[in-house]
Structure 1
Amino acid sequence: MANFNDINTTAQGNTKRLVKSVPEVMKSFKDLQEAAYKDAALDTKTKEFAALSYAIADKCEGCIGAHVNKLIKLGATRDEIAEIAGVAIVMGGGPGSVYGGKALQAYDDSMENQE
């Protein structure tokens, strides 16, 4: 089983490849992300929880790692990640339970690096 620190490093490297290959597309994507995650009716942390739920249900490990790391920076706890995993299980069924566990693994792996 891969460690989420490795998954995050790989995902970031792949993103850099895309930035070099299709810079206009990636700049537009970054602008879209910044606009979507701005505090408005919902705060950034709530939006990150929504994104993590979708990442789990859609089985995107790179997305799980990225959103868990953002949530850690926003002060999310392991219990909050676990509850979002529970919501994703409802939406994603059995696969949601596998990838919900991966979200907790991502949290644990990330916190291990901070110790």
Structure 2
Amino acid sequence: MKNFENINKRAQKNTGRIQESQPDFMRAFKKLQQEGYKANALDEKTKEFIALTYAVADKCEGCIGNHINKLFKLGATREEISDIVAVCIVMGGGPASVYGGYALEAYDEAAGEN
């Protein structure tokens, strides 16, 4: 069983390494992220759903944990995550079923249902 809290901490630590060597770039990247996730025509929750879809498709465990935590705080339900996983599997086949399962595992962990 994966522990997405530890995966997220490791991803943040590794991002910090890049921040140390590329501070200007990472500040610009952070600003890009903030602008990209800001509510406009789409609300923040919808944008996080899209980001989760990419996280599953790109097989990024740190991204899955990060976006699940944000979605959990935005009130996303397990059923909504499950629907996203279904679309990911349709679009991504077998690999999406594995990483989609990670998204549900991360949600259960965030909800305290290990």
Whole-angstrom distance in 1 between the partners of 2:9 and 2:112: 15
**Is the contact made by 1:56 and 1:96 (CA closer than 8 Å) also made in structure 2?**
yes
**What is the number of equivalent residue pairs in this alignment?**
113
Whole-angstrom distance in 2 between the partners of 1:18 and 1:111: 30
Match in the other structure for 1:15? 15
Whole-angstrom distance in 1 between the partners of 2:5 and 2:56: 17
Displacement after TM superposition at 1:2 (Å): 2.6
Moved over 4 A (4+): none
Displacement after TM superposition at 1:54 (Å): 0.9
Name the TM-score, length of structure 1 as normaliser. Answer: 0.93
Q: Could you say what the CA RMSD is over the residues aligned between the two structures, in angstroms? A: 1.2
Whole-angstrom distance in 2 between the partners of 1:46 and 1:27: 25
Match in the other structure for 1:29? 29
Displacement after TM superposition at 1:27 (Å): 0.7
Match in the other structure for 2:94? 94
Deviates more, 1:2-11 or 1:95-104: 2-11
Match in the other structure for 2:109? 109
Whole-angstrom distance in 2 between the partners of 1:11 and 1:51: 16
Q: Which amino acid aligns with 1:86?
A: A
Identical aligned residues as a percent: 63
Q: Deviations over 1:44-75 (max 9, x none)?
A: 10010001011101111011011001101111
Match in the other structure for 1:82? 82
Displacement after TM superposition at 1:77 (Å): 0.9
Q: Which amino acid aligns with 2:69?
A: N
Whole-angstrom distance in 2 between the partners of 1:39 and 1:86: 25
Runs (5+) with no aligned partner, structure 2 = none
Runs (5+) with no aligned partner, structure 1 = none
